[in-house]
Chains A and B, each alone.
Chain A
Amino acid sequence: MADRGDTHYHVRSLNLWFALSSLLLLVSALWMVLDDWKRPWKDYQRRFRTIEAARAEAQLESPEALAVVAEETRLAGDLDKAREMLASRRGELDEANAELRDAKGRLFVATEAEKKAKQVNNWQRFLTEEHRLQHGATDPGTVALETELRQIEDDLAARSGAKQDAEAAVRAQEKHIAEMEADVTRVETEHKNAAKSIELVRTKLAALAPSDLPTKVANVIRDFPGMDFIGPNLKVAKVLPPDLTFELNFTDKPRIDMCQTCHVPIDREGFSNDPQPFRSHPRLDLFLTAKSPHPLSQFGCTICHRGAGEALEFQRVDHRPPDEEAAERWHAEHGWHKQHYWDYPMLKARYVEASCVQCHKSSMELIANDAPKMAEGYRLFERYGCYACHKVEWFPTKRRPGPSLAAVAQKTNAEFVQTWVSNPRAFRPTTWMPKIFHLENYGPDVTVAASHYGTGRDMKGDEWSDAAVAAVSTFVLSRSASEPLPPVPVDGDATRGREVFRLVGCLACHNMAPFTDEARDAETDLANQRRVTNEHGPNLRGVATKVTPEWLFAWIKDPQAYWKETRMPNLRLSDQDAADIVAYVFEDPLFKDVPTGWSPGEVAYKRDVLEEQARWFFNRELRSELDRRFQNEWKDDKALLVALGEKWVLAQGCHSCHEIPGLQDAQPIGTELTNWASKTVDKLDFGFMPEILAEEHGWSHEQALAFKEYRENFLEQKLREPRSFDRRKVKNPTERLRMPWFNFTEAQIEAISCFVAGMVDDEVQHARMVPSPEQTAMDHGLRVIRQKNCVACHVLEPGVIDFKDDEGAQHSVHGQFLVFDGDVLPPPMKGFQEYVAKYEESEGDLEEVVVQLLEPEPGLGRTGDTVVVSDVDGIKARPPWGGDLVEPIAEYYLYGDDHHEDVEDVDGQRRGYTEEQYDKVRWTFAPPVLVGEGDKIQRDWFYRFLLDPFPLRQQLRVRMPTFHWAEGEAAAVADYFAGRARLDWPARYARRLLVAKEQTPEQVAQEMVKLGVRATPALVRGIVAGRALEISTGSEGLQRYGREVGFESSPAVDPAYEAIPQRAPSTLDPLLALHPEFFSTVHDLVVKGPNCVQCHFLQGAPPSQTTPIAWAPDLAHARDRLRPDWVREWLTDPARIYPGTSMPANFPLDQEQWQDLLPAPSAQQIEAVLTWLYNLDRATVRN
């Protein structure tokens, strides 16, 4: 309205402002709503919907889908035809329906009539009964009533009959109509079912990319701002794993992981090639799926990957770029930078295995294959002794990693000790002992004690370190026992010693590899090559410059006498053998070979440096007091060195790795690492390293700051250069960093970091991860096996060969290769294709390779059967686990060494062995294979044997040493094998069953279903493959099927007790009552029949064969050592257990022999021999 002029404000402009501000508010409100509604994660989800729709479309266009659609169309055509036909009979149908209606009407009438008749009948009965009761049965009234009743009953019967007829008529009519419509019904059903397989895809496609307008509109409305609370297509996905909490400022809150909002298909198969974030998680069999051990709903994402689970933007999640280049790209594309103030950034993809540590502390060995980098870090942590200085509460190894110094003065001399302590790797590049002195914060240009401390001059790091070395070594030698050792009792023969050294087993754990890489690569002598297992003990090159012959003799005779916790076992060497080895070591130039430029010598120290160090170490005492001591008890340099040495040792932590008399209880010097990865990163002292590294690498300021935000950077830098954090700092001598320098390779640094980055404080509830007692026992056993280096000598798992058969089917079997045509030795499994290339160069194309199965393989055959493979290029071989010593020993037997080609056998005779005998030499003279040992050996015997080995196989020169076992270790190893046998049993049963009945998994599943057991081919295949889930659900059913078809198999190993029925009185008494001559009869059978004693020892008596290559173990051990089920299988057909063994099948099931000695079928002969064998100690045997 017009301006009245009586207001102070101008209405028009007010209106204008009002309109403007309203508009502004409206726009702002809309903008707010839009801004809140428009989220990046919705874009991702939209993109994913497009991807899924495209995938569904592609599926529908695949050949299979097209075939289904064609089928559907065809059936639709049939349906139409059938309906037409029916329509043409419409008249008939209508008539029939009318007829049906009439019939139903008639039925209704008949039913009613019957009902009425029933009522009349009941009433009449009542009258009759009442009358009879009141007036008696003979009363004329009663009789009349009864007659009436009978009439009525007849009438009722007639009407019932009529009703039944009517019912029948109705049914017949219905059937008639159904028949007419039958065709249509059938085709309708077929049509409905035809498209079942693609129905799901169609539904999905209809939902994702609808073709009709209403659905499209509906989709838009569902996600509209303001409407999307009802039933949106785009929604946040949350996982709340139960019991997994997140520590936030001293309180525990539940985790809410929203990662799947953008990473939509993370737990679904089929997206492995899509760009992130639409890629499936790797190893879905292990992670995220419902069947895996780590289902998504139970674990979420952040418990393993860390990061901010509740954030929905790329930046805020604290995603971690895998490397610098990715970081720059993310910065450019997404504006990414490290999310500040989030204490637990996402782990780098390379380090994600670190998260396994928090749950799997008691199953580290079991997961080693699935988390190889972390497992390697764990092993390195143990090997290099990190745990000795840095406490990790749960770490199972507690022994001191370095040798005891309690008697080091008997072992070596002061010059060696000082040169060694100065720089261990100068003498032995592969040693595990790190460099402790002369490191960068004590470098020759670094001033350690400045002149203004009152010393009068600047003392530099090198003289400081020299003084320290002298002090430490003097101290340690002063504490050591130093009585002279007894001399070597007999004269040693170096040539014989060389042979003993190579045969008795030293090379299983030790190597003598050259110092430089080039020399190592050129090395052909197996003794001088490095494998993982023969680095268990130190490299022995140059050892003659270090130790004395007397010490070496005492050491190899009994290592534990010098160092109680040593891992070197006792080889039970005779004095002569030990003396020969000592002679060999001190005469062969290899043991005097030292790196170029190295020579032992005492370090030169300066007295004034010693005194300055004393002032720092004894800083509680007055200077005047110290000066007095310098004049009196410390006047002699040696006394001062000893006093300083003790302080240095305690400061540097030598006592953590080495046992030093008097310092056994001193505390380790390192930071506790138990919860290191939970430390917030601001608590780590990066020092000036970020700036220093920025200068070196040309980083920007932001990059330098970013370096400080990740705790792994600190860890890696610390491992690489432990003392670098002291750079540019001014520190007094006692404040400087003390961690020694290990010279790790980058790969080692990564592995150890991966392990240490996993030591967090988040204790996952134990309900989530409870290893069964059996698994814990297996883990313990595996750890002991690793620490004792069993695999250096023994094969524990057979090799695996992958090949394609002639039909193109891929197989992966436990097997070995047989000799190629024209060769004498079989090809190696390691480097198989390289060997094939070499072979083809000299012999021409290789057309086929023969693979021998070492386990029953359904579809291929039993153990010992061969498969001819023509596709040689496609063969991949994984070598067996263990048995590294077998080749060196076999080669030594065949080729000898530079001095002689023959070998001294156990009987003292020298014999030569030719390549033709390679197989026998390998199986007879090399350490035995322990695959499946739990099924073969009685566990208690195994345990006793481990504690106290004896020559079971008399022909062996390689010797099983006597290990010293800590509490529970021997039992853990015996339990491991028994546990493996139990765990492997269901899979083995399944394989044997399928092979024996020659059936495929599909056939077996069908048969099982017929028996009423739930089974699918996938289940049977899973049992054969040994997968835990399938075994737990399906093994019982499979065994029921096996019993049905009469498949017999020895039962699984009993966890607790070994039942030996052959020794039980309930077996023996009736047997001996029936056949008093039983034992002598069977003894005759054994000796006169197959004559076992031609090869087997019998209660100490040697066999007929005088050549050791033919010897077999003493039969007297069988009753305590072997399991009867195994022996039975062995006697029946040895080649099915160890293909190629020299033991013949003495009682073949398909051929009866020795009937004159014991008339019975072969199976019974075997039982008789079993009983005899297990009672050898009781039977009076005739020789």
Chain B
Amino acid sequence: MIFYSVLLAAAAFGAGSPEVKSDEVGSISGHILWDGERPAAKPDLVMDEKAATGCKHGADGGLNKKDDTLLIGDNGGIKNVVLTIEVAGAERKVPAEPVAIDQQGCRFEPHVVVLPVGATLRFHNNDDTNHNIHTFAKKNQSINKNVAQASNADQLLDKAEVIDVKCDIHPWMKGYVVVTDATHWAITGADGSFKIEGLPPGEYEISWWHEELNKGKTEKVKVEAGKDTPLEHKISAEKKGGGGRRR
């Protein structure tokens, strides 16, 4: 359990940075914030009682029904925004250990996972019931596997894309796996904070992605060796567009 927490923490606070000398590199840290009026909180997820038998209840005895598609902290920070920087010439560090996405309480924890191309993703079932992992990948292999309690399913991901993850047995479950071919990445925490380390000096534009909002790029940020450059970026509420088949 502790192992997984550490792994989760590592994943949440930007685990992707190549091996370089610490005095030759700089870092960018800051917050991704919501621009404008905060939207109303989303209603709870509808969890079918009968289907939710076996989901682990929280410490208070109830199920966590929070909808985490758009989580904005008290300071306006947006959670689960994935930030990536492609640094020319830098080497992408692929973690040797599989990056985990857990199913607990009939939710995917963490809700969004970032890993580099070539890394292995591990699905773990921490509940007392079956879960099936149903990924909707376009370029990688989609899988739909039944994962027994306390067991894992691994998958090597070698193409860059955003993969939706669902469970057919519990239709409210939703997760995202962002497979990136960038060299540096981070994901924001609950207060929208992030830190990208190991950047050679230069000017960079950070690409960001969020499941509900459009993807985009921040303004250019200058990185100096040995220093940490702050960045506060605001994203406004642009919902994902649709193609022409809408009515």
A1089 nearest CB neighbor, chain B only = B148
B168 touching A1104, Cβ below 8 Å: no
Q: Mark B157-172, 1 if CB is under 8 A from A, else 0.
A: 0000000000011010
Question: For the complex, what is the distance from the CA of A1095 to the CA of B242, rounded to whole Å?
Answer: 31
Cβ of B207 within 8 Å of any chain A Cβ, yes or no, is no
Question: For the complex, what is the distance from the CA of A1140 to the CA of B145, rounded to whole Å?
Answer: 12
Question: For the complex, what is the distance from the CA of A524 to the CA of B148, rounded to whole Å?
Answer: 48
Contacts of A868 in B (CB 8 A): 138-139
Q: How many residues of B contact A (CB 8 A)?
A: 34
Cβ of B153 within 8 Å of any chain A Cβ, yes or no, is yes
Query: Which residue of A866, A1106, A1144, A1145 contacts B139 across the interface (Cβ within 8 Å)?
Result: A866
Of residues 25 through 57 on chain B, the ones whose CB sits less than 8 Å from some CB of chain A are: 48, 50-51, 53
Q: How many residues of A contact B (CB 8 A)?
A: 48
Given contacts A1107-B48, A1109-B171, A1154-B148, contact A1135 B245 (CB under 8 A): no
Question: For the complex, what is the distance from the CA of A824 to the CA of B51, rounded to whole Å?
Answer: 27
A843 touching B146, Cβ below 8 Å: no
A1141 touching B48, Cβ below 8 Å: no
B142 touching A1140, Cβ below 8 Å: yes
How many whole Å from B35's CB to the nearest CB in chain A? 21
How many whole Å from B47's CB to the nearest CB in chain A? 11
Question: For the complex, what is the distance from the CA of A820 to the CA of B136, rounded to whole Å?
Answer: 13
Question: For the complex, what is the distance from the CA of A1142 to the CA of B168, rounded to whole Å?
Answer: 6
A887 nearest CB neighbor, chain B only = B245
Contacts of A1104 in B (CB 8 A): 50-51, 53
How many whole Å from B197's CB to the nearest CB in chain A? 30
Contacts of B48 in A (CB 8 A): 1105-1107
Q: Mark B74-88, 1 if CB is under 8 A from A, else 0.
A: 000000000000000
Question: For the complex, what is the distance from the CA of A1139 to the CA of B138, rounded to whole Å?
Answer: 12
Contacts of A1141 in B (CB 8 A): 144
Question: For the complex, what is the distance from the CA of A818 to the CA of B137, rounded to whole Å?
Answer: 10
B50 touching A1142, Cβ below 8 Å: no
Q: Mark B2-39, 1 if CB is under 8 A from A, else 0.
A: 00000000000000000000000000000000000000
Question: For the complex, what is the distance from the CA of A891 to the CA of B246, rounded to whole Å?
Answer: 10
A835 touching B168, Cβ below 8 Å: no
Cβ of A733 within 8 Å of any chain B Cβ, yes or no, is no
Question: For the complex, what is the distance from the CA of A819 to the CA of B162, rounded to whole Å?
Answer: 12
A1094 touching B51, Cβ below 8 Å: yes
Give the secondary structure class of B's interface: loop
A1143 touching B144, Cβ below 8 Å: yes
Question: For the complex, what is the distance from the CA of A824 to the CA of B169, rounded to whole Å?
Answer: 22
Among B142, B145, B245, find the residue whose CB has the most chain A CB atoms closer than 10 A.
B245
A865 touching B243, Cβ below 8 Å: no
A843 touching B168, Cβ below 8 Å: no
How many whole Å from B153's CB to the nearest CB in chain A? 7
Q: Mark A1142-1156, 1 if CB is under 8 A from B, else 0.
A: 111110100101100
A895 touching B247, Cβ below 8 Å: yes
Cβ of A728 within 8 Å of any chain B Cβ, yes or no, is no
Query: Which residue of B142, B146, B241 contacts A864 across the interface (Cβ within 8 Å)?
Result: B142
A835 touching B244, Cβ below 8 Å: yes
Contacts of A1109 in B (CB 8 A): 171
A843 touching B241, Cβ below 8 Å: yes
Question: For the complex, what is the distance from the CA of A724 to the CA of B84, rounded to whole Å?
Answer: 78
B171 touching A1145, Cβ below 8 Å: no
A1105 touching B51, Cβ below 8 Å: yes
How many whole Å from A1174's CB to the nearest CB in chain B? 21
How many whole Å from B225's CB to the nearest CB in chain A? 36
Cβ of A839 within 8 Å of any chain B Cβ, yes or no, is yes
Given contacts A864-B142, A1105-B50, contact A1153 B151 (CB under 8 A): yes
Of residues 310 through 342 on chain A, the ones whose CB sits less than 8 Å from some CB of chain B are: none
How many whole Å from B63's CB to the nearest CB in chain A? 16
Cβ of A952 within 8 Å of any chain B Cβ, yes or no, is no
B148 nearest CB neighbor, chain A only = A1153
B146 touching A1153, Cβ below 8 Å: yes
How many whole Å from B129's CB to the nearest CB in chain A? 8
Cβ of A492 within 8 Å of any chain B Cβ, yes or no, is no
Give the secondary structure class of A's interface: loop
How many whole Å from B213's CB to the nearest CB in chain A? 12
A1146 touching B51, Cβ below 8 Å: no
Query: Which residue of A843, A1091, A1134 contacts B144 across the interface (Cβ within 8 Å)?
Result: A1134
Cβ of A771 within 8 Å of any chain B Cβ, yes or no, is no
Question: For the complex, what is the distance from the CA of A985 to the CA of B169, rounded to whole Å?
Answer: 34
How many whole Å from A827's CB to the nearest CB in chain B? 7
A843 touching B142, Cβ below 8 Å: no
Contacts of A1134 in B (CB 8 A): 144
Cβ of A740 within 8 Å of any chain B Cβ, yes or no, is no
Question: For the complex, what is the distance from the CA of A1146 to the CA of B143, rounded to whole Å?
Answer: 11
A865 touching B144, Cβ below 8 Å: no
Contacts of A1146 in B (CB 8 A): 146
Query: Which residue of A823, A895, A1145 contacts B145 across the interface (Cβ within 8 Å)?
Result: A1145
How many whole Å from B82's CB to the nearest CB in chain A? 15
A820 touching B134, Cβ below 8 Å: no
Query: Which residue of B50, B153, B168 contacts A1106 across the interface (Cβ within 8 Å)?
Result: B50
Cβ of A51 within 8 Å of any chain B Cβ, yes or no, is no
Given contacts A1104-B51, A1134-B144, contact A1144 B243 (CB under 8 A): no
How many whole Å from A1137's CB to the nearest CB in chain B? 12
Contacts of A1139 in B (CB 8 A): 142
Q: Mark A1057-1100, 1 if CB is under 8 A from B, else 0.
A: 00000000000000000000000000000000111001100000
Question: For the complex, what is the distance from the CA of A146 to the CA of B92, rounded to whole Å?
Answer: 100
Question: For the complex, what is the distance from the CA of A1148 to the CA of B75, rounded to whole Å?
Answer: 46
B243 touching A1145, Cβ below 8 Å: no
A1110 touching B171, Cβ below 8 Å: yes
Query: Which residue of B137, B145, B171 contacts A1144 across the interface (Cβ within 8 Å)?
Result: B145
How many whole Å from B174's CB to the nearest CB in chain A? 9
Given contacts A1144-B144, A1146-B146, A1153-B148, contact A839 B244 (CB under 8 A): yes
A1094 touching B171, Cβ below 8 Å: no
Given contacts A1104-B50, A1106-B48, A1109-B171, contact A865 B240 (CB under 8 A): no
B142 touching A827, Cβ below 8 Å: no
Question: For the complex, what is the distance from the CA of A219 to the CA of B96, rounded to whole Å?
Answer: 82
How many whole Å from A612's CB to the nearest CB in chain B? 61
Contacts of A825 in B (CB 8 A): 242-243, 245
Contacts of A839 in B (CB 8 A): 243-244
Q: Mark A683-721, 1 if CB is under 8 A from B, else 0.
A: 000000000000000000000000000000000000000
How many whole Å from B167's CB to the nearest CB in chain A? 9
Contacts of B142 in A (CB 8 A): 864, 1135, 1139-1140
Question: For the complex, what is the distance from the CA of A1139 to the CA of B142, rounded to whole Å?
Answer: 9
Given contacts A818-B138, A1109-B171, A1139-B142, contact A1144 B132 (CB under 8 A): yes
Query: Which residue of A822, A838, A1094 contacts B241 across the interface (Cβ within 8 Å)?
Result: A822
Contacts of B51 in A (CB 8 A): 1094, 1104-1106, 1110
Contacts of A1090 in B (CB 8 A): 130, 146
B136 nearest CB neighbor, chain A only = A1140
Cβ of A745 within 8 Å of any chain B Cβ, yes or no, is no
Question: For the complex, what is the distance from the CA of A967 to the CA of B203, rounded to whole Å?
Answer: 79
Contacts of A1151 in B (CB 8 A): 145, 153
How many whole Å from A67's CB to the nearest CB in chain B? 41
A850 touching B168, Cβ below 8 Å: no
How many whole Å from A1098's CB to the nearest CB in chain B? 15
Of residues 1117 through 1171 on chain A, the ones whose CB sits less than 8 Å from some CB of chain B are: 1134-1135, 1139-1146, 1148, 1151, 1153-1154
How many whole Å from A806's CB to the nearest CB in chain B? 13
6 A-B pairs with C-beta separation under 8 A: A824-B243, A838-B244, A1106-B50, A1142-B144, A1143-B168, A1146-B146
Chain B residues within CB distance 8 Å of chain A = 48, 50-51, 53, 129-130, 132-134, 136-139, 141-148, 151, 153, 168-169, 171, 214, 240-245, 247
What are the 8 A-B residue pairs with the smallest beta carbon separation, nearest first?
A1144-B132, A838-B244, A823-B243, A1142-B168, A1144-B146, A1146-B146, A850-B138, A1144-B144
Beyond the given A825-B243, A865-B141, A868-B138, could you list 9 further A-B residue pairs with CB under 8 A, ordered by the A residue number?
Answer: A835-B244, A895-B247, A1091-B130, A1105-B51, A1105-B169, A1139-B142, A1143-B144, A1148-B145, A1153-B148
